[in-house]
Chain A
């Protein structure tokens, strides 16, 4: 330790003004004063010179850092372009046709019986005799079929759940008056998100995957649909409830009577339902009967109760009971000319979420009611509703032709559904003729649509074959009986009608299958382009991260300049090519732009080849750091490993712990050995501890038990509530202890962790408790009645507490990171030195405390601040998990430092694995249903972008965000910086002649590059396998979601790692400021 002192303080006041040399003493004093004044004048000049030199240092540092940021910016562009290209080829697309069905032009000749009115008119019925004038459609979001049927013992379930036998009216009515009421399982096509479901329920088409994520901002439907047909027929449509409808059908609803409500606030179980109920019942009153033709109500309470508490919760029971009462009231006011439909748009899984394609998510309920006898059962069908959703279900798109024909409207142009048989066979179940007529007119429209689609997408022949044969057969049989003009008066037997119905039904069924296969068409060209770009980025990153032997910073300007030039040239060439040739601009421009970056990057590497080496591992740790991400990437080729990824990432991160152990044991001194071993064990044990927090995905059952929520709900278990408080007590102490170990607990660090961070954590815990209290209000507990009047105040307080926690963590953490002095202090230690006579004597020696870890310690506040902010968005168990993560990161840093692995790939690779481990430990899975949408409201009362999105990102990829931000931490932990400028000079072969080397900054850049490298290996693997296995049964369930979560997560982590490389400058400059005099002296000597 070299004693050093910071810049000199103000000089002492000089001596008296009028010196009279009347004594020896005064003469000496005067001479001293004169000399000192001269020295001080000189010191001033010297100080100014030092300042200028220091500013130049900082300028050089800034330039070096900008070039590095430029390199990573190019890498992120490559990643984004590759992911975009792959995604646009992988996610399925379907052409939207703009044709509309017309009342007067049915897809074939239509003849009505006498007394059924005139075809081609709304009064009589456009294509089919009208049965009702008006309809009430009540959507109960997430109404699963088993919510509506009586409980019976099955699958080992002996006792009814909360959701059983609460909404009993639908089943009772269907069982007592089967001719008036009909209850059926209503099977949804995945994805089971509300927006996609509403689209399908109104247009009759199949959803494609690309829409899955657009639940936030609904986009207007441009295809033909029921609402458009209703408007064309001059009907007034009133909508109450979920405002998604207005996003899908802007301007389609009666602006005076409609009452849209915000759909996304899942915390709120009652506002929407109460609103719909208060406006619905008056409208149903006979006095108001003239004000509307079709009434659409959309209840969200059941869905929100599911998201928030899960199906097996008292809140769900009371919600369903409320619906039960409401439907009983509604039925009383339904007149003979009105059709009442109650339906669920999708179901929910065991913890109340949805989006995927598990049985529980797709099995919704459909209930239709008419006050006059309407519904029949075909011969052989049971009168009672199906006991479970395994039998007798109808597809959700079947509602579209059913509703259209019953209301006398044309079937929407793009509908693929078929009429629901029970609604057409007549109360006696013998009306096969009516059913066959409905099936025929629907199938004919399907045929017309298929023809138009083929023409549009130039698919001649692809939809032909079996489809043509089926159609010819059905239409031929129809024409044989009636002639092409459909002459009337022909009487066919029951068997003939049944044969006709079966033929048209078979055609419709086959068409749906063909379309499903067709819209599962991938653009292999784009997918290959995307994968190629990603693979190239891996190669470049590998060389840049692990193959540069000298002067990484000097290499960077070359890469940035040529890469940027290549990017510009590539994009321009792409635009030109797209203008000349029939190639899609969105394909060729990103591809050639990426190719330009890759070419520029490669040529830069070639120019600097004298300082490059093959990036091959030369040691066990190097080999392991290569193998760990590679194994993870390979494992994603198997659906089993993808399903069990929470276990495989733990296995791999524990292997990192074993590497730390081995390296620690190899360390030179017993002290650092002990430190290495202790931290390796701590690292591994904490990883295993965090893995106890998990949310099982459906495929893992029954071999997995979720701990993240209490069983069958999405509320945390009671004991979890102790964890945020425990974290607030322990985590700041642990962070302080880590700094005390390196003697870095000085200046702001003394209060930042213990007071600021702890306050933020306590506020965050307080918000969690308020949330739990708010949740308890929905149940029948005694707490509920006591606090119910204050529900609004509780909610407001919770939001405020969460905002305060975020504000304190980010603002104070950011301020300390940006402005604090480094966590070092002047101190002294006793040394025994021999004096002149050779006797040992004690001296006090000046030392700088905290010098050995000045950079790492100075960077910690930022990581911890973001960690705490991420914790605010988590559930109680997730808060503790993020706390454990931060301690584990410190253990990793200590272990790497002790084992001499600071510059090896182990640290960044280990951090990448931790990002995966904590994705799962914070209750996530690579499944849409596991997204914790409610996190968007933790600190907000409604949706407010971009904050809601940021909160959701922090919740979903929180572990990865903290890990990415910690990359500089583990690269610098235990590295004492003495100045901002450690070393200068050109690299070998004249690379970077005018740039300083800054080995520590270059080390951080290397770590960031290695981190991005390990991430891109895994995500490229996920993309490649998803593309390769695109016809696999599990592509939507397993491979597709894994790719999408991985891709989004990689971009998030890329950006955070880039920001980390930027903000690490605060640590360097703060430490450098203290050492500026030393740096100047060093440089002065050199000059």
Chain B
């Protein structure tokens, strides 16, 4: 598409740097082994989700939440904001701190990220689902549960590494963040959900087509794929 000459030039992609890869050792091992683990947990509860989506998704919620918190604490660098060195990239923060002494701020940050994601994130994502055509008057528990899972998958790591810095979150929403495993996973969740909506109208009369089974499945698969791709495309920025 020939771009118009009057279009404003987007801010330079170098405003933010991608997250470093997890340290070799336990962190990297967990980061690699984690997606298959979570997907297996999801696959194990898949049949009960199809049978009764809302209760089964709620049952799965604590497990996903715990795993996401665990993953964030173990594998991800703490947000630059929380370590009081806003100007410095997250990379430096991680190296300076001792490996044993910072687990309390890590855990508390992860829990705060969990709370923010589950409250604010769920609300925003549920509204987004409705805007894209989710039922308004019916299936409210299902939509909320679906949004909560999306918030856990995409939101917790994002809040954990970026904090609540407005400028960073603008870059996140504007697709200006450079790719890394956290950002890739978040974009993957949204794309997976978008693609997950596609099989719903087909007249195959399958149980799994009911709301919101395909959406949640898309979220989990998109999360795993996005996380892997985020590592592969680390540092790249989407051109709009």
Contact = CB atoms under 8 A, between A and B. Distances in A.
Contacts of A549: 2
Contacts of B11: 666, 668
- Please tell me the size bucket of the interface on B: 20 to 34
Interface stretch (A64-72, A176-184, A683-691): A683-691
Given A663-B240, A905-B1, A673 B202 contact: no
Contacts of B3: 618-619, 903-904
- Please tell me the size bucket of the interface on A: 35 or more
B21 to A, nearest CB: 26
Contacts of B175: 620, 662, 666
Contacts of B32: none
B24 to A, nearest CB: 34
Nearest to B202: A640
Interface in B1-18: 1-4, 6-11
A625 B133 contact: no
A665 interface: yes
A1000 to B, nearest CB: 11
Interface string B167-195: 00010011110000000000000000010
Contacts of A641: 201-202
Nearest to A654: B132
Nearest to B172: A665
A684 B2 CA distance: 26
Given A618-B239, A619-B240, A903 B4 contact: yes
Contacts of B44: none
A643 B201 contact: yes
B92 interface: no
Interface in B107-163: 130-133, 136
Contacts of A710: none
B8 A667 contact: yes
A617 B238 CA distance: 13
B49 interface: no
A975 to B, nearest CB: 9
A902 B201 contact: no
A661 B128 CA distance: 12
B8 A688 contact: no
Nearest to B1: A622
A1014 interface: no
Interface string A502-519: 000000000000000000
Contacts of A647: 133, 201
Nearest to A624: B240
A3 B1 CA distance: 36
Nearest to A659: B240
A481 interface: no
A644 interface: yes
B203 interface: yes
Contacts of A640: 201-203
B133 A688 contact: yes
B7 A688 contact: no
A655 B136 CA distance: 18
A901 interface: yes
Contacts of A688: 130-133
Interface string A100-127: 0000000000000000000000000000
A444 B163 CA distance: 87
Contact of A625 (B1, B7, B194): B1
B197 interface: yes
Interface string A636-659: 001111011001101100110100
A902 B203 contact: no
B209 to A, nearest CB: 10
16 contacts: A546-B2, A548-B2, A615-B1, A618-B239, A619-B3, A619-B239, A639-B203, A641-B202, A647-B133, A651-B133, A657-B131, A666-B11, A666-B175, A668-B11, A900-B6, A903-B3
Interface of B: 1-4, 6-11, 130-133, 136, 170, 173-176, 194, 197, 201-203, 238-240
Interface of A: 546-549, 613, 615, 617-622, 625, 638-641, 643-644, 647-648, 650-651, 654-655, 657, 661-663, 665-668, 673, 684-685, 687-688, 691-692, 900-905
- Of all A-B residue pairs in the complex, the 8 with the closest CB atoms, nearest first, are A622-B1, A665-B174, A903-B4, A644-B201, A900-B7, A640-B203, A668-B8, A654-B132
